[in-house]
Amino acid sequence: MAIGFDTCQHRHMSNSESLPMLEPETAAPCCPPLTERPLTAEEAERTAKMFKALGDPVRLRLFSLVASHEGGEACVCDISDVGVSQPTVSHHLKKLREAGLLASERRGTWVYYRVEPSVLAAMGQTLGRYSA
């Protein structure tokens, strides 16, 4: 299952053309601290969506595959080898997109995904100063 041909492995087109980038569904200025004051109901609602998006093993692996891929982006065909069917992969990628964690763009035959850095920063800030 999954691919079987090296049709699109590592195709970065020498990054000469600057990538246009698509917007994610949410701009997300959110995520107050977490240890300083109790979250309100709305804050918790918005913040929980992001944690929930990373709360599935398959989604976490997909996100890690995109985040760790060289160039900061990855074709779907490069990351669909996580043990589930290809429609399921597409479903999880959509969830990550809706949560604002990934952005997608179609270039010719293939669709590329990349990490949305601002949302990650917000999550890290939400976890607070325990990282010290």
List residues binding a copy of itself (CB under 8 A).
34-39, 41, 44-45, 47-49, 51-61, 63-65, 67-68, 82-83, 115, 117, 120-121, 123-125, 127-128, 130-132
Asked if residue 66 lies in contact with residue 82, where contact means CB atoms within 8 angstroms, the answer is no
CA 34, CA 51: separation in Å to the nearest integer?
Answer: 13
Task: Check binding of 50 to DNA (CB under 7 A).
Answer: no
CB under 8 Å to 51, separation ≥6 — which residues? 123
Taking Cα atoms as reference points, which of 24, 25, 29, 40 lies closest to residue 125?
Answer: 29
Question: Which residue is it, tokens 């990349």?
Answer: 114
37 exposure class (CB count in 10 Å sphere: 0-12, 13-18, 19+): exposed
We find the least distance from the C-beta atom of residue 90 to DNA, in angstroms, to be: 3
Q: Is 105 or 120 the residue whose CB approaches DNA more closely? A: 105
Contact mark string toward DNA, 85..124, x via CB under 7 A: xxxxxxxxxxx--------x-x-xxxx-------------
Q: What is each CA distance from 55 to 32, 68, 84, 107, in whole angstroms?
A: 20, 18, 17, 29
Residue 25 binding result from DNA, a copy of itself, none, given CB thresholds of 5 to 8 Å by partner type? none
Residue 16 binding result from DNA, a copy of itself, none, given CB thresholds of 5 to 8 Å by partner type? none
Q: Is 60 or 111 the residue whose CB approaches a copy of itself more closely? A: 60
> Strand runs (DSSP E) across 36-96, as ranges?
73-75
- Residues in touch with DNA (CB under 7 A): 3, 5, 7-8, 52, 55-56, 58-59, 75-77, 80, 84-95, 104, 106, 108-111
